[in-house]
Structure 1
């Protein structure tokens, strides 16, 4: 039956005063129809509305002021001045005794005043316990004379695509609203929203104002904090993203204990395991985080990780990309023990790492480099009896292509992909032969690194 005919019949029934709702069954074979109402009644007191206000010190009054500010003779009067603003968002109570509420950093950014409205209508002014722009998470606290209700965390690492989801938040300031959907995808990154990205994607209807609200499973447990949507003007098109609950839990613990994130440091540079890279390096896997370089004396170095390794899981959870690895490690605290599954020298290994702390070199994503590698570099073939057989980089001209690639004087090029080279003729031949991708394996200060050319 077409939608038009259904609508027409429904209208006719209304016109002749037939009680349509009475005609609909409330049970089948004596069993009540399934409903989310009991679950929502239980968990909705743990989801709050957030109203913020303040003066954004970086916002110009209007476009004319902005133009004046960049003129050579700009006066103090033409510079951007504090501009009052207000905003709406959502939050989730995660500790009833302490009054802790988790939300997005971008919800409370620049706010001078934060008002929490409970489902009962009671309002409380919140203070900021800690915040982390990199993960877009903030921890707030309220003091309530009446008991609060806190949410229970799920293990978000156990989520599967197709699992049902329930979103609760405050879209467009309408007040608490419930929508439902499924997990559309896991481990989403590359959205250029924040520095640490490992999002749950859902098709539950999420709109502007839902930020910081709860994404739940059918047990009423928190599986994520709704953070972003893809859609024009803040409207829903069925693609929304949430920070996984395990990441939120780790960050909230640090914010409550220290008031800041004391981020664990692994100490590697790397990139994605693309099909081209997997084929060039003869890898039997097509996902994970490929290590280009290990920082000397870092946590990774001390644990035995090497350039060319592929990290495939963290603490038993599969890693699909380098971005996912970065997000996982970036939400763990310094000193934390991490168990990594690694492909090393064509063997699967389990490596335990104790994450470093502040002052260590963090995980860095290495971007692809230009294909021209020799301009500005003087290369010399391996000498007889050379300790590390390979092509020696005798000189690198400053600001040349070789310099921009990261090649430095003293490097020894020992292989292209996995094929060893000892002279320039072999080097050029292997570079021409490599059809999928080209990576230089270089020994620098007796340590291997990779430089990806294309």
Structure 2
């Protein structure tokens, strides 16, 4: 039976009256769960006091090239179609970081915090300042590693983020708006979030939290109630520019795999599985007669790939990676990408209802294979390497585009993925080279940029 708002309010009032009347007849000490004179107030302070010395403030300085206005004299008396002047402008930025090795002075932060910085200063909670050296980073996962002098530092232990559950309490620590170290609390709201930074074309498997995260928190710590590092705070959804209770952190397990490679090589040398696929949903599962409803559905296995050598087949549904359940193809992609080339991966696969376990050694993504200067005048200034789209389809990644180069003027951007030339599929840099050398007249490059497919014409 429908109940009016007025009657609902009346009912709530009645319930309140019952509760209050019940409390009024209880003994005085039962109205409060503890005695404020004898017992300590429940507090996160002991954990916070232990962890905050390991979370640092980061300030950066540098110069960026920006496109200025055209010289008025040149505009009125010279070449009106000339390019506007490129100017160097100084910039400053603030962020956060986490000490993960007190003996070696390793600090983890976000790539976007220190990218293009010429000077990096790390400030500890006790006020000490250190000049930091950049060991390396990875733009696609937004992780970077710094090194400071290991002088009486505090580090955070890593939690197993794969075991973190939705509903777990977490605490975010960082330097929002440059105010200084700030602590906020909340819960894990969701796991496995992706598609948030699609323009970057990176690897995303975020932990979502409602702990307040704001500008300047980037690179800071998300910890559990034991003070263990659950994730690195990275992004927020902020329609109005501030916190609305939707923040995201890179899981500590993913970060750990990436950091070890950055420390050793200065970059991430990603492993490659060699498949294309999609999310398994109820429709796909029903059409293939599968009982499993979540996982990564394998559309295609590339010839001579790690997947083929390891026994993976088209039509397989990957449900676990190294014993950890996955729900989407993006989760699979992120876990593979965080593993270094040459590492082993154990996959649990549903193959027509049978459960199969496969041990696969990941292959290496090719290093930049082509400098485009000799391919076509319009592509000069670009470099290409083998890679894949966010959907796992093989293609050619635009690994570098020089500013003001013909490739930049054409509209190519770093992390674009070329998947076809004149409607012919391209799966490797060598194929791109061959097709470009054979093509005549206008060439149409099919580009995948994040979640968007577009065409760029070369004349």
When the two structures are superposed, what TM-score results if normalisation uses the length of structure 1? 0.71
Counterpart for residue 193 of structure 2: 188
> 13, 31, 38: which one pairs with 2:39?
31
How far off its partner does 1:131 sit? Answer: 0.5
Conservation of the 8 A alpha-carbon contact between 1:171 and 1:208: yes
Is 1:131 the counterpart of 2:141? The answer is no
How far off its partner does 1:366 sit? Answer: 4.4
Q: Output the CA distance in 2 between the equivalents of 1:41 and 1:63.
A: 54
For the aligned residues, what is the CA RMSD? Answer: 2.8
Counterpart for residue 205 of structure 2: 198
Counterpart for residue 83 of structure 1: 89
Structure 1 regions of 5+ residues with no counterpart? 1-23, 369-397, 407-454
SS of alignment partner, residue 297 of structure 2:
strand
Structure 2 regions of 5+ residues with no counterpart? 1-31, 368-385, 394-420, 428-459
Q: Output the CA distance in 2 between the equivalents of 1:203 and 1:218.
A: 15
SS of alignment partner, residue 326 of structure 1:
helix
Counterpart for residue 16 of structure 1: none
Structure 1, residues 39-91: CA drift from partner, whole Å, max 9, x if none? Answer: 1111100000011111112x2346999xx8xx984446x23311111111000
Change (3 A) 1:354 1:32: same
Counterpart for residue 291 of structure 2: 284
Counterpart for residue 274 of structure 1: 281
Conservation of the 8 A alpha-carbon contact between 1:268 and 1:362: no
Q: Residues 386-401 of structure 1: matches in 2 within 5 Å?
A: none
How far off its partner does 1:263 sit? Answer: 0.9
Is 1:99 the counterpart of 2:105? The answer is yes
Conservation of the 8 A alpha-carbon contact between 1:92 and 1:151: yes
Q: Output the CA distance in 1 between the equivalents of 2:316 and 2:363.
A: 19
Counterpart for residue 446 of structure 2: none
How far off its partner does 1:346 sit? Answer: 2.6
Counterpart for residue 314 of structure 2: 307
Counterpart for residue 444 of structure 1: none
How far off its partner does 1:258 sit? Answer: 1.4
Change (3 A) 1:325 1:362: farther
How far off its partner does 1:364 sit? Answer: 4.5
Structure 1, residues 184-227: CA drift from partner, whole Å, max 9, x if none? Answer: 00000111354100000000000000000000000000000000
Counterpart for residue 263 of structure 2: 256
Counterpart for residue 55 of structure 1: 63
Is 1:222 the counterpart of 2:229? The answer is yes
Q: Output the CA distance in 2 between the equivalents of 1:225 and 1:172.
A: 17
> 124, 131, 138: which one pairs with 1:118?
124
Q: Output the CA distance in 2 between the equivalents of 1:90 and 1:169.
A: 6
Q: Output the CA distance in 2 between the equivalents of 1:201 and 1:134.
A: 19
Conservation of the 8 A alpha-carbon contact between 2:275 and 2:392: no
Counterpart for residue 355 of structure 1: 362
> 166, 169, 173: which one pairs with 1:164?
169
Counterpart for residue 184 of structure 2: 179
> 232, 235, 238: which one pairs with 2:242?
235
**Equivalences, count:** 346
Q: Output the CA distance in 1 between the equivalents of 2:392 and 2:303.
A: 21
How far off its partner does 1:270 sit? Answer: 1.0
When the two structures are superposed, what TM-score results if normalisation uses the length of structure 2? 0.70
> 323, 326, 335: which one pairs with 2:333?
326
Conservation of the 8 A alpha-carbon contact between 2:69 and 2:85: no
Q: Indicate the larger mover: 192-201 or 130-139.
A: 192-201
